[in-house]
């Protein structure tokens, strides 16, 4: 298979996967919106938005950097992958602790 054909095939599957994922997400949101109250849906939306925000912070392009580094030097995969995944876990942990801290402050201010 030519490289151009492989690129078109990969693009097709990438777009198709994103489209299917988006449709499943839309269907899930519609089902949840019909099943819960407005207040509960608002809480769900807030939690989902916060989780996406934390995911973007924790990810911060590290998997793409890992791919680039492995493409340069396959022998260094294990140490680079270990450092990358460890850093993602540390950033995620910091975000979880920060969200817990904000919740404590919010409770203290509301009293």
Contacts of 38 (CB under 8 A, 6+ apart): none
Decide which of 65 and 111 is more confident.
65
Decide which of 37 and 99 is more confident.
37
Helix axes 77-110, 38-59, angle to 10 degrees: 140
Decide which of 49 and 104 is more confident.
49
Contacts of 54 (CB under 8 A, 6+ apart): 92, 95, 96, 99
List pLDDT tens digits, range 51-71: 888 777 777 777 888 888 888
* Farthest CA pair distance, the chain: 67
Contacts of 87 (CB under 8 A, 6+ apart): 62
Q: Which residue has the tokens 């680039």?
A: 68
Q: What's the confidence (pLDDT) of residue 21?
A: 93
Report field, pTM of the whole predicted structure over 0.75: no
């Amino acid at each position: 298979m030519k490289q151009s054909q492989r690129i078109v095939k990969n693009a097709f599957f990438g777009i198709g996967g994103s489209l299917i994922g988006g449709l499943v997400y839309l269907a899930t949101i519609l089902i949840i919106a019909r099943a819960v109250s407005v207040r509960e849906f608002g809480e769900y939306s807030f939690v989902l938005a916060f989780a996406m925000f934390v995911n973007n912070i924790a990810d911060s392009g590290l998997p793409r950097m890992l791919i680039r580094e492995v493409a340069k030097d396959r022998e260094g995969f294990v140490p680079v992958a270990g450092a990358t995944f460890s850093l993602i876990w540390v950033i995620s942990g910091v975000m979880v602790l920060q969200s817990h801290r904000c919740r404590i402050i919010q409770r203290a201010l509301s009293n």
